[in-house]
Amino acid sequence: MIQATFETDWDYWNSLHADAPRYQAEKERVAAEVLARLEAHYPGLAAQVEVTDVVTPYTTWRYTLNRRGAYEGWLPTPEVITTTIPRTLPGLADFYMAGQWVIPGGGVPTCLNSGRDVVRILCRRDGRPFVTSRPR
Ligand SMILES: Cc1cc2nc3c(=O)[nH]c(=O)nc-3n(C[C@H](O)[C@H](O)[C@H](O)COP(=O)(O)OP(=O)(O)OC[C@H]3O[C@@H](n4cnc5c(N)ncnc54)[C@H](O)[C@@H]3O)c2cc1C
């Protein structure tokens, strides 16, 4: 399997999506161009392709509802990386947040850690020790 990832623009794909045939044609054009460029490095590759799947920011939005099709949370700039994002919302009792929007950068490992953080917060709230055990 080969995965090719590129920076691209939400507004472009989001508005293009309104025109289904053009959206589809553009995805096919991008796939063909990527394959042509890879072919230069791996001669014969194009003849071996069985399946191609093109994902746009619109696709990510459709599956996750992430703002503007973001594939991770906040961009980890020096300013953001040192910021602690609250896990609760004022006026909303018993509500705790976990996931890529409460940890700069996001990604699966940090999201898992943010779930652990919420358990720690709950333990502290309930006066219980936070303990972990290894799965057997
Ligand atoms: C193409 C791609 C490749 C990636 N590769 C990697 C990688 O290699 N390594 C890595 O660590 N991370 C990777 N990531 C990032 C990682 O997938 C995310 O950071 C992580 O999944 C975010 O977890 P989350 O629980 O915060 O949100 P999500 O996994 O987005 O879960 C949010 C869930 O909430 C649901 N939802 C949204 N709004 C509502 C609503 N109003 N009502 C009900 N449900 C709702 C969504 O449908 C979704 O199921 C990748 C992401 C993408 C898109």
Structural domain boundaries of the chain?
Answer: 10-69, 78-126
Question: What's the token pair of residue 24?
Answer: 């589809």
C-beta of 112 in contact with ligand 1 (< 6 A): no
Q: Whose CA is nearest to atom 31 of ligand 1?
A: 64
Q: Which residues contact 86 (CB under 8 A, 6 or more apart)?
A: 102
Q: Kindly give the number of the ligand 1 atom that is closest to the alpha carbon of 71.
A: 53
Q: Kindly give the number of the ligand 1 atom that is closest to the alpha carbon of 101.
A: 26
Q: Give the other-Cβ count within 10 Å of 85's Cβ.
A: 13
Q: Kindly give the number of the ligand 1 atom that is closest to the alpha carbon of 110.
A: 11
Ligand 1 centroid to 114 CA: how many Å?
A: 13
Q: Say if CB 73 and CB 100 are below 8 A apart.
A: yes
Question: What's the token pair of residue 95?
Answer: 């509500």
What are 89's strand-pairing partners? 92
Alpha-carbon separation of residue 57 from 10, 43, 93 (angstroms): 6, 30, 34
Alpha-carbon separation of residue 101 from 20, 76, 106 (angstroms): 31, 11, 7
Q: Using CA atoms, how far apart are residues 103 and 111, in angstroms rounded to an integer?
A: 7
pLDDT by residue for the chain (136 residues), tens only, comes to 999 999 999 999 999 999 999 999 999 999 999 999 999 999 999 999 999 999 999 999 999 999 999 988 888 888 888 888 999 999 999 999 999 999 887 889 999 999 999 999 999 999 999 999 998 8
